[in-house]
Amino acid sequence: MSLFSADRKVIIIGDRDGIPGPAIEECVKPTPAEIVFSATECFV
């Protein structure tokens, strides 16, 4: 079973000064996993 298999639900918390949420989303989208939450946070 891969990390992003169909039975996985993904929560994405991106960092504005690192990798923002939408960029991580794009990487997860080709996998069968379901993105249930994605946000970018500002830690400064």
Distance CA 16, CA 20 (A): 5
H-helix or E-strand containing 40? Answer: strand 34-41
The only residue of 23, 29, 36, 37 in contact with other proteins, by rule CB under 8 A: 23
The only residue of 1, 3, 11, 44 in contact with other proteins, by rule CB under 8 A: 44
H-helix or E-strand containing 27? Answer: helix 21-28
The only residue of 1, 7, 17, 30 in contact with other proteins, by rule CB under 8 A: 17
Residue 11 binds other proteins, judged by CB under 8 A: no
Here the tokens at position 36 are: 């249930």
Binding interface with other proteins (CB under 8 A): 14-23, 26, 39-40, 42-44
